[in-house]
């Protein structure tokens, strides 16, 4: 097992000063240590992994130093364009060190949305001709490998990657954790809101704990799951999925249950929602100001005006609510107001330790959902 402080110190001793990326559950101990030990201008939690590569490129241009971009392997897709058309050795030839959490590693049990990504992680890097190592779990060997790959990254002036297996890093608890004192947890707010919706409303829920909480709530209420599409992967794309449904199923009320990190990751999607203006779409952003599912690192959720952004993109209404009373006050209108509407629901960071996962597969969820929307498939 590799201690995160020694890993971090080895990178710093090799001349690395900038860390940027999107936090990952396999990297949560490392990301927590970086958050506690780097200032805000040298640990930048980016909107998405592609943006992180851009930030890294800017840092290299300004300093000549090797920057680090950290991500879950699911984020490679977001990063492919700048990796291939910006920092690649046949374009601008920039040294960028990728640290990639290997979810879905072949032979290691993981959630279904990670299986394919795990299978193709190494082939993707090979196809992009990015040299890589799988970090050894023995500390001395691992730290020597880190020094060597940073040196190669500098020498060849091209991206290199360190792949991190599950349980490679020792534990580290984030000290500078995002906190807030909003009265409701996400699950409490979700429960109040779902109970206020018409029974035939359709929900598209975002990646992470929110979808898991929605699944368990439906179980507790004995309501079934056919009206919910649980976006277990594809972080940031739930609002686009909801838009595609809303435009075709104008007779149904479509709700997108989003998170602040996911909303920010692909924020440009709301420009399509505003322009096409589906009257039946309600976009609810559960904002706790943190990437809670992967360690609690902060987002910019409380640093931007989500409602003003939505209004500027053409949403008919946008509002912020924080209390049970405010949510219930909306219940008389939420099923009838003309969309697109955005509701920012500010909640505290708080989730159950015993929160389960959906007991249905993604394909079972898809088939039940499609049958509910338009009949047998």
Q: What is the tens place of the pLDDT at every residue in 283-304?
A: 999 999 988 878 778 899 999 9
Q: Is the pLDDT of residue 377 over 60?
A: no
| Pair 140, 64: CB distance under 8 Å | no
Percent of the chain with pLDDT over 90: 87
Residue 69 to residues 21, 48, 131, 237, 352, Cα–Cα distance (Å) = 5, 11, 15, 22, 31
The distance from CA 341 to its chain's CA centroid, rounded to whole angstroms, is 23
Query: What's the token pair of residue 310?
Result: 């939505």
Q: Nearest 5 degrees, angle CA 99-CA 104-CA 108?
A: 115
Q: What is the tens place of the pLDDT at every residue in 244-265?
A: 999 999 999 999 999 999 999 9
The distance from CA 363 to its chain's CA centroid, rounded to whole angstroms, is 21
DSSP state letter for 279: T
Residue 140 to residues 30, 144, 326, Cα–Cα distance (Å) = 17, 6, 56
Q: Give the pLDDT of residue 292.
A: 84
How would you label 109-143 residue by residue, b for 16+ Cβ within 10 Å and e otherwise? ebeebbeebbeebbebbeebebebebbbeeeeebb
Q: Give the pLDDT of residue 180.
A: 84
Q: What is the tens place of the pLDDT at every residue in 55-110?
A: 999 999 999 999 999 999 999 999 999 999 999 999 999 999 999 999 999 999 88
Q: Give the pLDDT of residue 297.
A: 84
Rounded-to-integer distance, Cα 184 and Cα 191, Å: 10
Task: Indicate the SS3 state at residue 68.
Answer: strand
Q: Give the pLDDT of residue 376.
A: 60
Cis status, amide bond into 251, omega within 30 of 0: no
- Structural domains of the chain in order of their starting residue, each with its CATH number: 4-164 (3.40.50.970), 186-374 (3.40.50.970)
Q: What is the tens place of the pLDDT at every residue in 18-70?
A: 999 999 989 999 999 999 999 999 999 999 999 999 999 999 999 999 999 99
The distance from CA 162 to its chain's CA centroid, rounded to whole angstroms, is 20
């Amino acid at each position: 097992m590799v201690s995160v402080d020694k890993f971090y110190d080895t990178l710093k001793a090799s001349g690395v000063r900038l860390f940027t990326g999107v936090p990952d559950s396999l990297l949560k101990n490392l990301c927590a240590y970086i958050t506690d030990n780097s200032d805000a201008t040298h640990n930048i939690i980016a909107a998405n992994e592609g943006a992180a590569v851009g930030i890294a490129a800017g840092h290299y241009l300004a300093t000549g130093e090797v920057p680090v971009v950290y991500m879950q392997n699911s984020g490679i897709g977001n990063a492919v364009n700048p990796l291939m058309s910006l920092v690649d050795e046949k374009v601008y030839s920039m040294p960028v060190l990728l640290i990639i959490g290997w979810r879905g590693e072949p032979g290691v049990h993981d959630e279904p949305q990670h299986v394919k990504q795990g299978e193709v992680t190494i082939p993707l890097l090979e196809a992009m001709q990015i040299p890589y190592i799988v970090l050894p779990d023995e500390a001395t060997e691992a730290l020597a490998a880190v020094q060597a790959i940073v040196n190669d990254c500098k020498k060849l002036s091209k991206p290199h990657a360190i792949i991190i297996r599950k349980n490679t890093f020792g534990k580290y608890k984030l000290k500078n954790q995002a906190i807030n004192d909003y009265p409701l947890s996400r699950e409490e707010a979700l429960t109040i809101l779902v109970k206020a919706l018409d029974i035939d409303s359709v929900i598209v829920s975002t990646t992470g704990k929110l979808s898991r909480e929605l699944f368990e709530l439906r179980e507790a209420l004995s309501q079934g799951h056919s009206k919910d599409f649980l976006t277990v992967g594809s972080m940031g794309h739930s609002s686009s999925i909801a838009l595609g449904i809303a435009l075709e199923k104008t007779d149904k009320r479509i709700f997108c249950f989003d998170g602040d990190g996911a909303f920010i990751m692909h924020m440009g999607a709301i420009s399509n929602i505003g322009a096409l203006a589906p009257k039946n779409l309600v976009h609810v952003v559960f904002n706790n100001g943190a990437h809670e599912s992967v360690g609690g690192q902060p987002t910019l959720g409380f640093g931007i005006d989500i409602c003003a952004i939505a209004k500027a993109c053409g949403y008919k209404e946008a509002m912020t609510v924080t209390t049970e009373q405010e949510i219930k006050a909306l219940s008389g209108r939420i099923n009838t107001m003309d969309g697109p509407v955005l509701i920012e629901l500010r909640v505290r960071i708080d989730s159950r330790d015993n929160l389960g996962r959906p007991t249905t597969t993604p394909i079972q969820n898809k088939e039940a959902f499609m049958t509910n929307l338009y009949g047998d498939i």
